[in-house]
């Protein structure tokens, strides 16, 4: 039996004889592998961008907003009715098992003044749970405590954009800012979070204790009113459970039967984002599948050339058989020749694919991520194609009759 390394040498020589033909045959595989890698890179880049946005927003998040009011037949839209209370938030925290943390929010927009600088921004009154719900660490200082919330102290956490606009480069910790002319002590700075999925600057905000917002900044139509309740579920699997539990609990608390429309609505933000991520994954697969077709066509090109090659070299096959080549010696020789074609093509395709996705990300501005598995997959796939499409010509060659093959002109 002939050794594999000798067979590889034989195949290299055979491919060198017809350089142009070998190069053109490889081109099919090169384009196929390159396309698979570039397409997967585009798709992976898109879905990782979405999942990055999800993690920025805070994972496993559910938002509860009050329902709509109707004034003389004119419906005012979601969030216009004031139905949610601090007590609702506490009840969700206590009674919904799938919920890990709850942060009620009472917010508004106000002018903020520090020294000679001023800035208009959203003021979010909330509890200490908010930072956990939104996965939002502080870059300096301390969060407010339960004590701050209970006694409505005048402390605040500033978002990075607010710090930049009110303090420039100075350290805001311990400084006083005036919100609606009321002095607040800056106790911490929120870490930069960047844009939200819909393009808002999430860093342009100030957090104050919710009680302070209710009593001193924006007032309430009734004590304990909140505008929004943010909820974090235990895990992404429990998101729907949490959603259902909250729905049931709030219907019960607000005395709304199942036949009536609720006076609140539960929005599962993470699930929406996950659907987007899912669809971009499907797109990735689709792109990969389309690119794979070109890889398949490349494989058929290899089979075509190998069949021609077997016919051309019938006499050589006859000689080899006469002097002792066994069935598998011949078969292996042609399979390895096809494999060599497809693997050299695959390697060149990987380089083209890497370069191509880099150029795409520069020219089109798309985020592209070349994942190692996609490279290994397409290389492995091209090798498999070499073996698969090389097998039939090799099989044909190995079954030639040595006498006929020797006589072949």
Partner 1 sequence: MPIIEVNDICKTYHMGDIDLNAICKVSLDMEKGEFVAVMGPSGSGKSTFMNILGCLDKPTAGTYRLDGEQIADLSRDELAAIRNRKIGFVFQGFNLLPRTSALENVELPMLYAGISAPDRRQKAREALRSVGLEGREQNHPNQLSGGQQQRVAIARALVNDAPIILADEPTGNLDTKTSMEIMELFVKLNNESNITVILVTHENDIAAYSRRVIRFVDGLVVSDVKQQQRR
For strands 155-158 and 182-190, give the pairing: parallel
Among residues 3 and 221, whose Cβ is nearest to partner 1? 3
Report the residue from 4, 6, 252, 293 that binds partner 1 according to the rule CB under 8 A.
Answer: 6
* Contact call for residue 329 and partner 1 (CB under 8 A): yes
Report the residue from 63, 173, 308, 319 that binds partner 1 according to the rule CB under 8 A.
Answer: 319
Three-state SS letters, 265-326: EEEEHHHHHHHHHHHHHHHHHHHHHHHHHHHHHHHHHHHHHHHHHHHHCHHHHHHHHHCCCC
Contact letters (x/-) for partner 1, 209-228, by CB under 8 A?
--------------------
Q: Give strand pairing partners of 17.
A: none
In whole angstroms, the minimum distance from the beta carbon of 29 to partner 1 comes to 25
d(CA 329, CA 389): 18
Residue 367 CB partners (closer than 8 Å, separation 6+):
45, 46, 48, 49, 361
d(CA 359, CA 135): 35
> Are 63 and 231 in contact, with CB atoms under 8 Å apart?
yes
Q: Which stretch binds partner 1 (CB under 8 A): 70-78, 85-93, 120-128, 321-329?
A: 321-329
Contact letters (x/-) for partner 1, 162-201, by CB under 8 A?
----------------------------------------
User: Which position has the token pair 């996705």?
Assistant: 357
User: Which position has the token pair 């190069």?
Assistant: 23
Among residues 185 and 327, whose Cβ is nearest to partner 1? 327
Among residues 78 and 406, whose Cβ is nearest to partner 1? 406
Among residues 199 and 324, whose Cβ is nearest to partner 1? 324
Among residues 142 and 326, whose Cβ is nearest to partner 1? 326
Among 65, 58, 57, CA closest to 266 = 65
**DSSP code of residue 157:** E
Q: Give me the torsion for CA of 26, 27, 30, 36, rounded to 10°.
A: -120
* Contact call for residue 315 and partner 1 (CB under 8 A): yes
Count, residues near partner 1 per rule CB under 8 A: 23
Report the residue from 17, 182, 290, 364 that binds partner 1 according to the rule CB under 8 A.
Answer: 17
In whole angstroms, the minimum distance from the beta carbon of 386 to partner 1 comes to 22
> Are 304 and 383 in contact, with CB atoms under 8 Å apart?
no
In whole angstroms, the minimum distance from the beta carbon of 319 to partner 1 comes to 5
In whole angstroms, the minimum distance from the beta carbon of 353 to partner 1 comes to 34
* Contact call for residue 1 and partner 1 (CB under 8 A): yes
* Contact call for residue 402 and partner 1 (CB under 8 A): yes
d(CA 244, CA 388): 52
In whole angstroms, the minimum distance from the beta carbon of 329 to partner 1 comes to 6
Contacts with partner 1, residue ranges (CB under 8 A): 1-3, 6, 13, 17, 315-316, 318-329, 402-403, 406
């Amino acid at each position: 039996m002939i050794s594999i390394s000798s067979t590889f040498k034989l195949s290299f020589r055979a491919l060198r004889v017809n350089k142009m033909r070998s190069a053109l045959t490889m081109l099919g595989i090169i384009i196929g592998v390159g396309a698979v890698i570039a397409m997967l890179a585009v798709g992976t880049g898109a879905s990782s961008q979405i999942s990055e946005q999800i993690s920025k927003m805070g994972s496993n998040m559910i938002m509860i907003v009050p329902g709509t009011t109707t004034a003389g037949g004119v419906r005012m839209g979601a969030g216009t009715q004031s139905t949610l209370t601090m007590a609702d938030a506490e009840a969700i925290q206590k009674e919904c098992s799938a919920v890990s943390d709850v942060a009620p929010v009472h917010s508004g927009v106000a002018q903020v003044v520090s020294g000679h600088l001023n800035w208009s921004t959203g003021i979010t009154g909330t509890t200490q749970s908010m930072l956990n719900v939104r996965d939002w660490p502080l870059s300096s200082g301390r969060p407010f405590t339960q004590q701050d919330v209970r006694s409505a102290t005048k402390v605040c956490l500033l978002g990075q954009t607010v710090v930049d606009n009110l303090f420039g480069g100075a350290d805001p910790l311990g400084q006083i800012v005036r919100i609606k002319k009321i002095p607040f002590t800056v106790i911490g700075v929120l870490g930069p979070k960047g844009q939200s999925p819909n393009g808002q600057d999430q860093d342009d905000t100030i957090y104050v204790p919710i009680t302070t917002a209710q009593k001193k900044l924006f007032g309430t139509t009734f004590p304990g009113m909140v505008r929004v309740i943010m909820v974090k579920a235990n895990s992404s699997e429990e998101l729907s459970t949490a959603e259902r539990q909250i729905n049931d609990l709030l219907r019960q608390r607000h005395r709304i039967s199942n036949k009536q429309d609720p006076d609140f609505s539960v929005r599962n933000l993470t699930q929406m984002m996950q659907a987007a991520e899912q669809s971009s994954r499907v797109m990735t697969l689709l792109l990969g599948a389309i690119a794979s077709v070109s890889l398949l066509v490349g494989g058929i090109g290899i089979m075509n050339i190998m069949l021609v090659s077997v016919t051309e070299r019938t006499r050589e096959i006859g000689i080899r058989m006469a002097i002792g080549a066994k069935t598998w010696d011949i078969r292996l020789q042609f399979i390895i020749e096809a494999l060599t074609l497809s693997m050299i093509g695959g390697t060149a395709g990987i380089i083209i694919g890497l370069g191509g996705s880099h150029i795409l990300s520069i020219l089109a501005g798309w985020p592209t991520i070349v994942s190692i598995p996609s490279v290994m997959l397409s290389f492995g796939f091209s090798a498999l194609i070499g073996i698969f499409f090389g097998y039939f010509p090799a099989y044909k060659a190995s079954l030639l009759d040595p006498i006929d093959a020797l006589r072949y002109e």
